[in-house]
Amino acid sequence: MASQAIDAGPGFPQWTEIGQDSGLDPLGMQRPIEVLFQSLLPGISTITLRLRYYSFFTWALEAYAKTNGQADPRAFNVFHRRAETLLALVCARSGSELGVTGIDWANRQLAQIEGGPGSNQVIDFEEAADPDTAPEGRYLRNKGGAFGAIYSTQMAEMGLVELADEEIGLPFCTSAALPLAQGFEEAIGDRASEFLRVLDSGKASIAELDDLSVFLPSKIEAGSTEQAGLAGALLGRLGPQSSGNAARRETLRLLLSRAGAAGKRPRTADLKWEFFELAAQPGEGLSSEVCEAWALYQACDLWRLAYECLLTASLVAVRGGPGARLSVQEAVASLQDQAGMRGNESFRDFLADAGVDRAPRELAEAMLAAEKRGEIDEMVKSSVLLTALLYRRSKEFSPEVLEWLDVDDYFQSLVSEARYYDALLDRPASEAIGQIARERVIKRHLWVASRKLRNKAYTFLLEPDEGVLRYREGFRVSPSSPRIDQALQFLADCRLLDDGGITLLGTEELARP
């Protein structure tokens, strides 16, 4: 699971679910990117891995209300954790399910059965499901379980559950979720009572796990009531007519359209570039604003990558100095040399035609490839050219789409950096690049790291040391992951997409008005 975000007040660049494997956001540029894809795919996160949890949990909420009904948070938590633990054991027994919460624990329980899993052997999951068990003994360390820690907030964003009703005091299904609960119960049939009986006992035999295979996340039947309900929830037809549901629907329609054009399940990396190039002309009755918003996401992420590559070059320069130390001025001069500006060319002239013969994807891939190979000069040149291209592209976004970047000015983004570049237009290009490297990269990193230090998180990659910079460590430059992988998996779970591209059901969905 993702680390909990640290809230240190306004302006603090939080650790987020996107970006580098290390979780480090050295320039505080991830927040605008996160805001964009959260607005475009609300109700889906990087840790909501299987769509059927949405119908399983609505059924479980209804089952709790009908069979237990205690307004006791602990009783509710025990019930849900037992349901999740039992589902994990059923999935582990099948041996073929991915994205299941608690699957590692469940696999260990099956592996520990002496002499192999006989049909009468029993696994006791009562203690592992108890939220008051010591963390090392739980199936999932978080006391909220998969529902409380992962799925509930996303289901609330879809309008499927209510979490904050003070009178009831427990989460419950909204009327929009009832078709999901009913569809799931119809799909599992008479196994519903067996599941609840095993759940209540806290013990499951191997034979019982086999009997409950109808609960597996992959068992959504095409054309079933459950499948139709999940498609309705996913495409925003069951929940309220909110801007979030509309944005998710139009994003998913874009994904289905591209899958149809490609004749295969698309890759996230390709989709991001397709949206960037399609921008406001997606065609086929698709939302031009949502497509352009995805292009804005990609532009913001590319600018972040370019700046992080400049930071990498600064780190290399400082590491190569005497005692791994260098002044800010010397580090900036190194970047200016590597950028290779021509003569007294103005920054305005440089931005007007730099990289005009290069495609943005070509430049970005050259930059990241050079970073991986340690070819610093090539990396810096590509970074500078890419920001010039992005500066020109920034003038093409519509005012309506730029409003999607709803973040404060202290978060650097395409908008803030284009504005900063505007103020440098009459400077010599080399001088402008030097100021950008000094103010927007090196000093920016020191400011971001100092903000995190207030919360005892030491993230300096360059340390101030008696008037100079001292190298501390490097980091990995990596494109962000904007939930598209999870959205594609949900479309596949819902039988709207498969390895051959869009399915007949997906085509019918795309044809809906």
| Mean pLDDT computed over 41-67 | 96
Whether residue 17 is predicted with pLDDT greater than 50 in this model: the reply is no
**Residue 424: strand, helix, or coil:** coil
**Confidence band (pLDDT; 50, 70, 90) for 71?**
confident
Phi, psi of 382 (to 5 degrees): -65, -40
Write the pLDDT tens digit of every residue in 452-469: 998 889 999 999 988 999
Cα distance between residue 199 and residue 69, in whole Å: 16
* Cβ atoms of residues 375 and 459 within 8 Å: no
Q: Please count the CA atoms within 13 angstroms of the CA of 353 that sit on its side-chain side.
A: 5
Q: List the structure tokens of 9.
A: 């007040």
Whether residue 55 is predicted with pLDDT greater than 70 in this model: the reply is yes
* Cβ atoms of residues 459 and 24 within 8 Å: yes
Q: E strand or H helix at 206, and its extent?
A: helix 206-211
* Cβ atoms of residues 149 and 1 within 8 Å: yes
pLDDT score recorded for residue 397: 96
pLDDT score recorded for residue 117: 61
| Mean pLDDT computed over 192-203 | 97
Q: List the structure tokens of 19.
A: 């970006």
**Confidence band (pLDDT; 50, 70, 90) for 166?**
confident
* Cβ atoms of residues 324 and 475 within 8 Å: no
In this structure, the chain runs to a length of 513
pLDDT score recorded for residue 5: 33
Cα distance between residue 43 and residue 49, in whole Å: 12
Q: Which residues of 427-455 are buried (b: 16+ CB within 10 A; e: fewer)?
A: ebbbebbbbbbbebbbebbbebbebbeee
**Residue 326: strand, helix, or coil:** strand
Higher pLDDT, 266 or 15: 266
| Residues in Cβ contact with 104 at an 8 Å cutoff, skipping those fewer than 6 apart | none
| Mean pLDDT computed over 154-166 | 91
Q: E strand or H helix at 502, and its extent?
A: strand 501-502
**Confidence band (pLDDT; 50, 70, 90) for 169?**
confident
Residue type, 328: V
What stretches of 68-113 show up as alpha helix (H) in DSSP? 73-94, 103-111
Phi, psi of 196 (to 5 degrees): -65, -35
| Mean pLDDT computed over 34-55 | 96
pLDDT score recorded for residue 18: 31
Q: Any idea which residue has 């975000």 for tokens?
A: 5
Average model confidence (pLDDT) for the chain? 91
| Mean pLDDT computed over 366-389 | 97
**Confidence band (pLDDT; 50, 70, 90) for 4?**
very low
Q: Interhelix angle for 288-319 vs 30-40, to 10°?
A: 160
172-173 and 325-326: which strand pairing? Answer: unpaired
Q: E strand or H helix at 462, and its extent?
A: strand 462-465
pLDDT score recorded for residue 139: 95
Any idea which of 172-181, 234-243, 313-322 has the lowest mean pLDDT?
234-243
What stretches of 240-287 show up as alpha helix (H) in DSSP? 243-262, 268-278
Write the pLDDT tens digit of every residue in 482-501: 999 999 999 999 999 999 99
**Confidence band (pLDDT; 50, 70, 90) for 120?**
confident
Q: Which residues of 285-302 are buried (b: 16+ CB within 10 A; e: fewer)?
A: ebbbebbbbbbbbbbbbb
Whether residue 3 is predicted with pLDDT greater than 60 in this model: the reply is no
Write the pLDDT tens digit of every residue in 281-303: 888 889 999 999 999 999 999 99
Higher pLDDT, 344 or 154: 154
How many percent of the chain have pLDDT more than 70?
94
**Residue 172: strand, helix, or coil:** strand
**Confidence band (pLDDT; 50, 70, 90) for 116?**
low
Whether residue 228 is predicted with pLDDT greater than 50 in this model: the reply is yes
Ordered DSSP codes for 9-56: STT-----SSS-TT---TTS-HHHHHHHHHHHSTT--TT---THHHHH
Return the bridge partners of 501, or none.
498
Write the pLDDT tens digit of every residue in 322-346: 999 999 999 999 999 999 887 789 9
pLDDT score recorded for residue 114: 58
Whether residue 417 is predicted with pLDDT greater than 60 in this model: the reply is yes
Phi, psi of 506 (to 5 degrees): -65, -40
Return the bridge partners of 123, or none.
204
pTM (2 decimals)?
A: 0.90
Q: List the structure tokens of 4.
A: 């909990």
